[in-house]
Amino acid sequence: MGRLQKALHRIFSDPDRSLDIRNIKYLPRWAVLLIDIGLVSISIIFTILILLDLSPFQYTLISYFDKAIMVVAVNIFYFYIFKTYAGIIRYSSNIDALKLLLATISTFITLVVINYVVYFSIDEKIFLIGGLLINLWISFSLLFLFRLGVKQVYEYFKLAQKDEKLIKAVILGVDENAISIAGALDIEHPKRFKIVGFLTNNTHKSLQILGKPVLKHTSKIHEEVASLGAEAIIFSEHSFTPEEKFKLVEECLEHDIAVYNAPLVSTYDNENDQPIANKVKSLQIEDLLERDPIELEVQNKIEQLTGKTILVTGAAGSIGSEIVRQVAEYNPKKLIILDQAETPLHNLQLEIENSFPKLNFRPIVSDVSNSRRLAALFANNQIDVVYHAAAYKHVPLMENNPHEAIFVNIHGTKNLADLAVEYNVGHFVMVSTDKAVNPSNVMGASKRAAEMYVQSLYNNQRAKGPETTKFITTRFGNVLGSNGSVVPLFKKQIEKGGPVTITHPDIIRYFMTIPEACQLVLEAGAMGKGGEIFVFDMGEPVKIMDLAIKMIKLAGYTPNKHIKVKITGLRPGEKLYEELLNDECKTLPTHHKKIMIGQDVVRDYEVINDKIEKIIKSAYKLKNDKVVAKLKDLIPEFKSNNSAYERLDKTPELKKN
């Protein structure tokens, strides 16, 4: 009895575990056997009562006692033979039911055999055959129903427990897409959501969809979500403008409502055989910063790319690799991808080989500052278009290594631009940055110097004749998801539990997505006539503090409670805000309302080239102060911020040395 007492004590002594079947892992075998014996005993009693009812004057309950002992003993023997008590009851299967059936039938046959052996020995039957049949039916039923009942009760509590852990969500939308998403989430395994209702911004004729209530949401969407007892909302409605969606998400996050995005079922491409429910994911910050896509002139791109030899530098980077993917779609004659980063370039090569098996492309491992390597590349390939995305772009690193910024961002660009002119390349599209405008750091200044060189080179060549390489510059803000962007940095910090680090509470930046940036590059290459700086209307600048707080909330945490936000101070060369145009630059409209042309000041090529040459020579001598001083001489608006080179702004005479 000691083991029984311990088992009962474990179940009932702890108030948190008492009477909760979910906390009972499994019954020991001896307990299952005792219950089976008890059920067999009950079946015998029922059998006797039935027999007594049929023949009330022939037998008494006591007269069956010795026979009952024999029936129980035979049942125990076959329980042992077939190990009916060995399985875990809540996981009972058809095999367990078969074992029970074999055990009870074997008991019946054995008792029949015993009955006839005794009959032939002493001419008297011990059992009534009808009674044994009744007992067979009742005992099997009780044993089977016991296991079935335990299994059902366990499943009930298991589902109830799972239901407690499910995210109670409402779906924003009542169209076919919303209904399809609801159905997909209902059969998802493992299940994540419990859909408690639907919201619509229109009056809907149905009060319910799939048995769930339909409510019309107002300007206070959090109240409707709360009224349905939900803690999350799934955006299935795709008719909202980015601005409307942003406002709705803002309200949800303000009231601690988790936000999820659902795909469009009609356009879902199930290439990896993944259920569409897997695509219902937490809303990402990129989703909130999306704008209307740039409408490109497809015919212009076909003329620009199809059947042409294209060179993409910095091809393994975030911008360069997306340019490669988009260019590959237009079946160029040859696609040359160049980068100094071996492993990312190899990964891109494998991707292109898999996605475009018939494409003629050539991966080149090289540095754009290697003029001899580039000269051989241009000499051996009749290149039609160059997309120049290779650059060093990390502000603090370049502030500490200015010569490296000169090697790649200035010398590399000069090498490519000079070779483009020498080998009659049709278009040269340079990827620049908003940090080149009124630069406050070496990286931005080096990109501005590169802009100035290609612009002056184009003007110089054009003066000699109209048939020259068309040099085009595109300026971007921060690109979401690119290497070095704050978004992936914040994501990693949030995944690690914080803190999320921000350099200054008031710092603001322009943002765009990688597809947007690359569409702008392709559009610039297609529509550019030469000498333009294309600037994208990037909307309103984003305060980085607000961005961090939104990302923390989108991840399901409370800022400064679950995830701390830490101010670290401005980094060397960093400024609070970026600009897309300087005061000298005027803008002209284009055929697309969100793309502008910045008309830069025309500069003398000989003067620019001479200063660029001197900057490059200083860089190769590793004279950092002289490099930065000469950059400031070339770019008067270059004023260092939070940098060791601020002293050069106070002593202008250093610029001339």
In the predicted model, is pLDDT for residue 584 greater than 70?
no
- Whether residue 108 contacts residue 136, with contact meaning beta carbons closer than 8 Å, is answered with yes
Instruction: Identify the active-site residue in 245, 308, 393, 435.
Output: 435
The model's pLDDT over 175-201, given as tens digits with 9 standing for 90+, comes to 888 888 888 887 777 778 888 888 887
Task: Give the C-alpha distances (Å, rounded to integers) separating 262 from 170, 219, 259, 537.
Answer: 12, 22, 10, 28
Phi-psi region of 601 (alpha: psi -120 to 50; beta: other; left: phi over 0): beta
For tokens 């003066």, the residue is 463
- Surface-to-core class of residue 449, CB atoms within 10 Å of its CB (0-12 exposed, 13-18 middle, 19+ buried): buried
Mean pLDDT of 322-341: 94
138/631 Cα distance (integer angstroms)? 98
CATH of region 298-492+506-540+574-605, choose from 1.10.1040.10, 2.60.40.1120, 3.30.160.270, 3.40.50.720: 3.40.50.720
470/461 Cα distance (integer angstroms)? 10
> How many residues appear in the chain?
657
Nearest 5°: phi and psi at 338?
-125, 135
- Whether residue 526 contacts residue 300, with contact meaning beta carbons closer than 8 Å, is answered with yes
379/392 Cα distance (integer angstroms)? 26
In the predicted model, is pLDDT for residue 585 greater than 60?
no
> pLDDT at position 177, please?
83
DSSP 249-268: HHHHHHTT-EEEE---GGG-
- Residues whose CB falls within 8 Å of the CB of residue 446, separated by 6 or more in sequence, listed in order: 392, 398, 402, 405, 406, 409, 410, 631
442 membership: H or E segment, kind and range = helix 442-464
For tokens 């200035």, the residue is 410
- Whether residue 169 contacts residue 225, with contact meaning beta carbons closer than 8 Å, is answered with no
Which is it for strands 470-476 and 533-536: parallel, antiparallel or unpaired? parallel
Instruction: Please give the single-letter amino acid code of residue 642.
Output: N
- Residues whose CB falls within 8 Å of the CB of residue 72, separated by 6 or more in sequence, listed in order: 37, 40, 41, 44
DSSP SS3 for 561: coil
Structure tokens at 110: 């054995």
Mean pLDDT of 578-588: 57
- Whether residue 406 contacts residue 615, with contact meaning beta carbons closer than 8 Å, is answered with yes
Structure tokens at 287: 């989703």
Instruction: Give the range among 245-249, 271-275, 364-368, 433-437 with minimum mean pLDDT.
Output: 271-275
The model's pLDDT over 357-402, given as tens digits with 9 standing for 90+, comes to 999 999 999 999 999 999 999 999 999 999 999 999 889 999 999 9
Mean pLDDT of 297-318: 86
Task: Give the C-alpha distances (Å, rounded to integers) separating 259 from 194, 290, 497.
Answer: 14, 16, 20
Q: Could you give the maximum distance between any two Cα atoms of the chain, in Å?
A: 133
Alpha helices, H only, 166-213 = 176-186
Mean pLDDT of 209-232: 83
Specify the fold of 166-267+274-283.
Rossmann fold (3.40.50)
How many Cα atoms occupy the beta-carbon half-sphere of 578 within 13 Å?
25
Mean pLDDT of 314-325: 93
- Whether residue 587 contacts residue 581, with contact meaning beta carbons closer than 8 Å, is answered with yes
pLDDT grade for 158, boundaries at 50, 70 and 90: low
- Whether residue 427 contacts residue 386, with contact meaning beta carbons closer than 8 Å, is answered with yes
Task: Give the C-alpha distances (Å, rounded to integers) separating 200 from 175, 224, 262.
Answer: 9, 10, 15
Instruction: Please give the single-letter amino acid code of residue 585.
Output: C
- Whether residue 47 contacts residue 71, with contact meaning beta carbons closer than 8 Å, is answered with no
The model's pLDDT over 253-277, given as tens digits with 9 standing for 90+, comes to 888 888 888 877 766 655 555 666 6
290/514 Cα distance (integer angstroms)? 10
> pLDDT at position 529, please?
87
The closest alpha carbon to 475, from 528, 524, 408, 410, belongs to 524
Which is it for strands 232-235 and 212-216: parallel, antiparallel or unpaired? unpaired
For tokens 């529509």, the residue is 527
- Residues whose CB falls within 8 Å of the CB of residue 119, separated by 6 or more in sequence, listed in order: 125
- Whether residue 391 contacts residue 492, with contact meaning beta carbons closer than 8 Å, is answered with no
- Whether residue 362 contacts residue 334, with contact meaning beta carbons closer than 8 Å, is answered with yes
Phi-psi region of 314 (alpha: psi -120 to 50; beta: other; left: phi over 0): left
> pLDDT at position 206, please?
61
> pLDDT at position 320, please?
93
Catalytic-residue membership of 435: yes
The closest alpha carbon to 402, from 574, 626, 647, belongs to 626
Q: Which of 64-78, 321-335, 577-591 has the highest mean pLDDT?
A: 321-335
DSSP letter at 601 equals P
pTM of the model as a whole: 0.67
Which is it for strands 533-536 and 595-599: parallel, antiparallel or unpaired? antiparallel
pLDDT grade for 17, boundaries at 50, 70 and 90: very low
Rounded to the nearest 10°, the torsion over CA 394, 429, 364, 424 is -140
The model's pLDDT over 534-557, given as tens digits with 9 standing for 90+, comes to 887 766 777 888 888 888 888 778
The closest alpha carbon to 76, from 107, 115, 45, 117, belongs to 107
The closest alpha carbon to 527, from 472, 468, 466, belongs to 472
DSSP 283-352: PPHHHHS--PPP---HHHHHHHHTT-EEEEETTTSHHHHHHHHHHHTT--SEEEEEES-HHHHHHHHHHH
The model's pLDDT over 55-75, given as tens digits with 9 standing for 90+, comes to 654 554 445 677 888 888 888
DSSP SS3 for 511: strand
What mean pLDDT, rounded, does the chain reach?
Answer: 81
Structure tokens at 375: 């000269």
- Whether residue 282 contacts residue 258, with contact meaning beta carbons closer than 8 Å, is answered with yes
The CATH 3.40.50.720 portion of the chain extends over 166-267+274-283, 298-492+506-540+574-605
Residue 254 or 410, more confident: 410
> pLDDT at position 179, please?
84
In the predicted model, is pLDDT for residue 40 greater than 70?
yes
Phi-psi region of 390 (alpha: psi -120 to 50; beta: other; left: phi over 0): beta
28 membership: H or E segment, kind and range = none
627/337 Cα distance (integer angstroms)? 30
Instruction: Please give the single-letter amino acid code of residue 4.
Output: L
- Whether residue 264 contacts residue 177, with contact meaning beta carbons closer than 8 Å, is answered with yes
DSSP SS3 for 96: helix
Alpha helices, H only, 55-125 = 65-82, 94-122
491 membership: H or E segment, kind and range = helix 486-495
In the predicted model, is pLDDT for residue 631 greater than 90?
yes
DSSP SS3 for 504: coil
The closest alpha carbon to 391, from 425, 427, 436, belongs to 436
